[in-house]
Amino acid sequence: MESKHHCHPGDIGCRARSLRDLLDTAVQWLVSHNRAGQCEAAPFSENSDRVEQFREFATTGHGLWLAVKGMDTMPGEAPMDIVGALALGDRSPYVSPVSEPELYVRLLVTDNQIGRRLLDHARDLACKAGVSLLRVDCYAGGDGKLVRYYEFQGSQKFEGLNRKHEWPYQVLAQRLDEMDKEER
């Protein structure tokens, strides 16, 4: 049997429990690594606003994409584990608009180091749509590892934000029209 990862549109209805489990695991990991400033310490599944936001991601914008690890088995059988989720759409309301079309990463949550593959998928979707700008915002506090992660993935700092009474954000951008095909 061969292990594979696939990206495909997410159907939150049939996979809601797996998605909640992925997000709850991510919250546990952040808390256990002293990164609770990036999220609430309570499990994702206990926050009805976050659950509703995830439903919105799945039904608006460019939708929700899932990284699924499946084992090839008999025809018609495909046991799968969700190892990542990517939500694409319009920019967050607190982020300044730009004067060109863009694709905005609203959420990236991963397990098993699958983040690069999901971001590659976002770049591919943007290029197919004729969009040259991919942006994302993330937590900019703590030791800055999350900002450095996105920089390592090819993004550059675009705009720093610090919303009153909330954690600091960093908006990062990647110009896709300046990349070689091999880089995408």
CATH class of 3-183: alpha beta
Rounded Cα distance between 124 and 176, Å, is 9
C-alpha torsion sign, points 63, 154, 4, 54: negative
Closest CA to 122 of 178, 176, 54: 176
Q: Is the Cβ–Cβ distance between 118 and 110 less than 8 Å?
A: yes
In the chain, the N- to C-terminal Cα span, in Å, equals 29
Structure tokens, 150: 């996105």
Rounded Cα distance between 114 and 173, Å, is 20
Structure tokens, 59: 């039904």
Structure tokens, 67: 């990284």
Does the pTM exceed 0.95? no
Q: Which residues pair with 159 in a beta bridge?
A: 171
Structure tokens, 87: 């939500």
Structure-token match 């694709």, residue found: 103
Rounded Cα distance between 66 and 81, Å, is 10
Q: Is the Cβ–Cβ distance between 45 and 51 less than 8 Å?
A: yes
pLDDT at 41: 74
Domain boundaries, the chain: 3-183
Give the number of other CB atoms < 10 A from CB of residue 125.
18
pLDDT averaged per 10 residues, the chain (length 184): 48 65 84 76 78 75 77 50 86 89 90 85 93 92 89 90 73 87 54
Structure tokens, 161: 């934000």
